[in-house]
Structure 1
């Protein structure tokens, strides 16, 4: 299988990227891409919720055996099995658990690339309604000509409007930027 690429280069790199690529290839061969993605998302949610789990994953003081034992129990309790569970256990046994969040991001990037999904990030001053969110998603999908994986970030400093990032492109239609532009124009007039 050809290595996934983005403009001729790999979209994931380093140790975490190699693990993510290996996991993606295995998930692809076994037809479990979406199941693995769902299980990794479940584990990532557990990681976000638990300071103890973050400490277990990130701290070098725990031995491989301690990490394996704890991870095995956590995976069983969370009902994470199959390829994702075996992968997480392998990572723990190799003392690379601290790289797991980067591996998960790398896996997601490979899945998105394989499915032709474009990542977009929208920053807004306040949480949008579901109807507005659907309009934003539709507009970005039409502009990008692809399915969108939308991340919404609330940033009250924007005052109003929104900032959209799709790949390397950014559209800043925030009130903060408009006010700053007016402020600069007023200084130039003096």
Structure 2
């Protein structure tokens, strides 16, 4: 599901407009918090994904649905208007791209280094702090860490920082070994 959150061209345009408006109105942190909540809801709720993506649901219904979600979650008015505008424009399916692009704009603006850690099972606090310390020494500043569990990697971890990926997963190592055996 986290793979859904990749910046898109349309998402970047909408995110830039939202970022500029939120920055101008000094609502950046509130909008960012709203979009993070929406991202978590997107991952957890098949109904939300269906509402935004389904070509069968009219744009007007998508707009009402997204605005109702914003009201229920007590989102900032800027975020609510943004969601309504995306739906009314027929761009609700680009919501994940806009969220990813907004996060990138925010990180660049705030000087944040975002890192995603993917592991086969949930990491404990000691492991997370060790990964943070290693990334801080490699990057020269504190990273903002997001942890995700993906049992398909079997073991080890993957760490994404920007467009770079450090892959120390067991699945990748087994695939490499299988490839090497086939070549031999």
Q: Distance in 2 between matches of 1:64 and 1:183?
A: 48
SS in 1 for 2:74: coil
Runs of 5+ unmatched residues, structure 2: 1-6
The structure with the larger Rg is: 1
Q: Distance in 2 between matches of 1:62 and 1:186?
A: 50
Q: Distance in 2 between matches of 1:94 and 1:184?
A: 47
Q: CA deviation at 1:160?
A: 4.5
Q: Does 1:53 align with 2:33?
A: no
Change (3 A) 1:18 1:185: closer
Aligned Cα RMSD in Å?
Answer: 2.9
SS in 1 for 2:105: helix
Q: CA deviation at 1:71?
A: 2.3
Q: Distance in 1 between matches of 2:41 and 2:171?
A: 36
Q: Are the equivalent residues in 2 in contact too, given 1:125–1:154 (CA < 8 A)?
A: yes
Q: CA deviation at 1:117?
A: 1.4
Q: Aligned residue for 1:92?
A: 87
Q: Aligned residue for 1:5?
A: none
Q: Are the equivalent residues in 2 in contact too, given 1:20–1:103 (CA < 8 A)?
A: yes
Runs of 5+ unmatched residues, structure 1: 1-11
Q: TM-score if structure 2 supplies the norm length?
A: 0.79
Q: What is the number of equivalent residue pairs in this alignment?
A: 178
Q: Distance in 1 between matches of 2:139 and 2:149?
A: 22
Q: CA deviation at 1:17?
A: 0.8
Q: Aligned residue for 1:82?
A: 77
Q: CA deviation at 1:40?
A: 1.4
SS in 2 for 1:27: helix
Q: Are the equivalent residues in 1 in contact too, given 2:119–2:153 (CA < 8 A)?
A: yes
Q: Are the equivalent residues in 2 in contact too, given 1:116–1:146 (CA < 8 A)?
A: no
Q: CA deviation at 1:173?
A: 4.3
